[in-house]
Chain A
């Protein structure tokens, strides 16, 4: 009955309306649909862009003040400014370098190992998205987001040679390191055509959501090489070199935790549910690692220290970084718990056994935590969280070992090995160059007096007779 009524209505409409009018109406609907689609795409793009700009700012906050405070508190007070300014210098120097050349080396199209020179001076990096990286945000947003990673990565290394490296040597070292180690590694794992790129069909697809290999393994392993090459601080380990302010480190670590949401959830490169998943995994991983480190410390030393708790959080955040967008909250907890206890063991037992002076444990936390996290990503990655592997028909394939893809462990191991080798060889070469040109270490007198006075002519805490 109803159908017949509708039919009758349509027939009458067609009889009354001229055919020209009907054609106009279809064209009008198409135009409105197109407008609606454009508006929808624009709304999604705006939402994604808002999150990615926020994430970029959060990741910058991890370097300064986060890492600067964390490391600054751990050194003796005569070196507090010298240490903080090393992180801050990265915010300036790497930014310029990124604009001129290293963004192109990392993310320009190139071969399997390094990007080309098409994007020198940010040529071609504008508001148009690059669909290979992130289809809904301007390429410029992607560029500045990745810049924040390029800034914090070398800053992490400064923990290994703290309190003894010349400022000038540190600058040259970091510029070369960014070009020789960071850009190639970022290109291999995340860049177009990269050998290890999992989402753009690399030869050995290594799952690294937010930089377990690119950021933490490279910086942590390079840190160990630096600590070994530069040698110990004067008086280490006989003299007590205790942190001058665990309070500063505490604030820094908390800022790192918050900033890490930009680091990991931002690596979804969009504001959708994958960002939520990475955010949640990150938080649960960090929390479990606090328990892992503090529990191990409590058992071994009889007391859970504040410095232990915050170090555990950082270790967990490091380890969950490669896995963040591939695992659910429960595997994230396992990864965090294991990383917390493992990094405590590395820092408290292994470092003492071998006697190297990785002053602020850049290797113990980032090198080992990053390696552990990258390998565990191959165990726990689940296609239900992130369907990254697909066959030719577009069907989802399993991601990690538990998912039914044991071969992924091998891919993860290849990524880790390449990161280790690149970091060791690259860092050694750079250290030789800097050593031969401007020299790496301050003189013994300068080291005793402290970096603040000898390198910068200032003191972190002023002393007034009349105060």
Chain B
């Protein structure tokens, strides 16, 4: 089992969600986050004072998938979330040892 953590543009959430649904991903967790990579932030003005805001709103989408689905899911996310500009985000993959369904104690990939 692999956990996919995709940090994407807020505007791309709908497209990514749809792309994942299309390839059969059934569950995901979405968080509103702030952060930055190489992308510069923006400036805001309050009563003439300039503030640089370098933490930019992003969406973090998490989902845990069976190994066989991971590459397809990554491709789906990349295709749907890419604009080609700085700030498109990143995807991180990591191994997951176990998954447990709280309702009935089911374990392993069946619990996903």
A235's partner among B14, B42, B55, B57 (CB-CB below 8 A) is B14
Q: Which residue of B lies closest to A235 (CB)?
A: B14
> How far is it, in angstroms, between the C-alpha of A453 and the C-alpha of B10 when the chains are bound?
14
The CA of A239 and the CA of B11, in the complex, are separated in Å by: 10
Asked if B45 and A458 make an inter-chain contact with CB atoms under 8 angstroms apart, the answer reads: yes
A463 touches B34 (CB 8 A): yes
**Category for how many chain A residues contact B:** 10 to 19
Main secondary structure of the interface of A (DSSP, over half): loop
Residue among B10, B14, B43 making CB contact with A457, cutoff 8 Å: B43
Compute the total of residue contacts between A and B using a CB distance below 8 Å.
22
B44 contacts chain A at the CB level, 8 A cutoff: yes
Partner of A465, one of B43, B55, B57: B55
We find that the number of chain B residues with CB closer than 8 angstroms to chain A is 12
Q: Within the complex, what minimum Cβ distance (angstroms) separates A126 from chain B?
A: 38
Which residues of chain A are near B44, meaning CB under 8 Å? 453, 457-459
Query: Across the interface, which residues of B come within 8 angstroms of A465, CB to CB?
Result: 34, 55
The distance from the CB of B28 to the nearest CB of chain A, in whole angstroms, is 16
Residue of A nearest to B18 (CB): A238
- Please tell me if A442 contacts chain B, counting CB pairs below 8 Å: no
State in angstroms the CA–CA spacing of A458 and B44 once bound together.
5
Smallest beta-carbon distance A222→chain B, Å: 29
Known contacts A463-B34, A465-B55: does B42 contact A453 (CB below 8 Å)?
yes
Q: How far is the CB of B112 from chain A (nearest CB, A)?
A: 26
Residues B28-66 near A (CB distance < 8 A): 34, 42-46, 55, 57
B residues near A239, Cβ cutoff 8 Å: 14
What are 9 A-B contacts defined by CB distance under 8 Å?
A453-B44, A457-B45, A458-B46, A459-B44, A463-B34, A463-B55, A463-B57, A465-B34, A465-B55
Q: A459-B44, A465-B55 are known contacts; what are 5 more A-B pairs with Cβ within 8 Å?
A: A239-B14, A448-B10, A457-B43, A457-B44, A463-B34
The 8 closest A-B pairs by CB, nearest first: A448-B11, A457-B45, A239-B14, A457-B44, A458-B44, A453-B42, A463-B34, A235-B14
